[in-house]
Structure 1
Amino acid sequence: MQVLVRDNNVDQALRALKKKMQREGIFREMKMRRNYEKPSERRAREKAEAVRRHRKLLRKRMEREGY
């Protein structure tokens, strides 16, 4: 991952880097890897995330269709 530093403005480059990392999900990944997650817990979490994504998609569709 690269961020260009323009005019020696490190603060702006640091903000850009943090924003890129946030978008990529790196912070969430680091937080999750801090502690061991049992395989059964991982499956349950991934299933719950999939359900949330699906419900969000359905909400968006319904909103677009005017319900």
Structure 2
Amino acid sequence: MVINVEITKTGSENSLSVIRRFTKAVRETNVLKHIRAVRYQTRRQSKCARKKIALKRIVGRLEFERLFKLGKVAEKSKKHGFKK
């Protein structure tokens, strides 16, 4: 969505009134409203990227299990919960 707001200075119009007309035009086109609405939205990951991350997770889990069986890594404690 691209909206151009163009204001031209007419005759003996001062800069303040040009700025005022410009801000009014921007408000009327709802450009700022749209920008603020989509400001923090993130793109969805592509199918390829999701697969890559899933494979990385699986490989990491298998590597941890292998090291745990060899006794080179202590078992991870729960991240959430109370210690007894």
| Shorter-chain TM-score range | 0.3 to 0.5
Which of the two has higher C-alpha Rg? 2
> TM-score with structure 1 length normalisation?
0.46
The structure where helix makes up a greater share of residues is 1
